[in-house]
Amino acid sequence: MITHKLHTRLILITLATVFGLSACSNDMSDLHEHVKKARAQKKTKVPALPVIKPHETYSYNSSGLRNPFLPVIDVFNLPTLASKGKKNRGLHPEENRPREELESYPLDTMRMVGILKQKDTSWALIRTRDGTIHRVKAGHYMGQNHGKIMRVTESGIELREIVPDGIGGWTERQAEIALSEKS
């Protein structure tokens, strides 16, 4: 039985080879005709390449200038700069005071929706992102950057924030929350 299968495969391979080789003929008249037509066509001349103008080279002399790839602040001398900043400025947030509820919200998520006046004190009404209304006055704190309310006016709240200066010290920044037109 194995010889029968082997014999059948051998016959099929032989037939495929014979048919494949018979497809290749020596008749190349089509090819010769095509080559004659191609040679008879008019030959076009390729235009010359344009002349490229040489560019002037510029030599940049950077000796004596600061390397732009190095940081402006001396990172290795950072502890010295930080201690100088703290000694010279003396500005720092009050760490020992109790935190107020509005200090857990970023300033841009709070809206001033109204104002109340009671004797000589002006109270601002602040709506937080969860919809709760809080009453604040000058001296209270709000925002995540140690923002102390300096003044409450009819147009808004003026704050003084104390933020890190990037070299280990602190710097003061003014902020304002305007009275919102929409409640």
Rounded Cα distance, 159 and 145, in Å:
10
Task: With a cut of 90, say whether residue 174 has pLDDT above it.
Answer: yes
**pLDDT band at 134; cut points 50, 70, 90:** very high
pLDDT category at 23 given cuts 50, 70, 90 is low
N-term to C-term CA, the chain? 96
Q: Is the pLDDT of residue 111 over 90?
A: yes
Residue 145 pLDDT greater than 60, yes or no: yes
Residue keyed to tokens 């760490």:
95
Is 8 part of any domain?
no
CATH number of 163's domain: 2.30.30.830
Which residues are paired to 161 by β-bridges?
A: 173
Mean pLDDT for all residues in the chain: 84
The confidence score (pLDDT) of residue 56 equals 87
Distances (CA, A) of 23 to 15, 33, 49: 13, 20, 47
Cβ 83 vs Cβ 167: under 8 Å: no
Residues recorded for the chain: 183
Q: What is the total count of domains within the chain? A: 1
Residue 136, domain member (yes or no): yes
- pLDDT band, residue 183 (cuts 50/70/90): low
Residue with the bigger pLDDT between 86 and 116: it is 116
pLDDT at 152: 94
pLDDT tens-digit series, residues 59-107: 888 778 888 787 776 655 555 555 554 444 578 888 888 999 999 999 9
Cross-strand pairs, 134: 126
Higher pLDDT, 152 or 70: 152
Q: Which domain holds residue 128?
A: 103-178
Pair of tokens at residue 41: 């066509």
Give the separation between CA 147 and CA 161, rounded to whole angstroms: 4
The reply to whether 15 falls in a domain is no
Confidence of residue 30 (pLDDT cuts 50, 70, 90): confident
In a domain, 32, yes or no: no
Q: Write the Ramachandran bin of 15: left for phi over 0, alpha for psi from -120 to 50, otherwise beta.
A: alpha
Is the residue at 85 inside a domain? no
Is this structure's pTM higher than 0.95? Answer: no
Residue 101: closest CA among 143, 157, 158, 162: 143
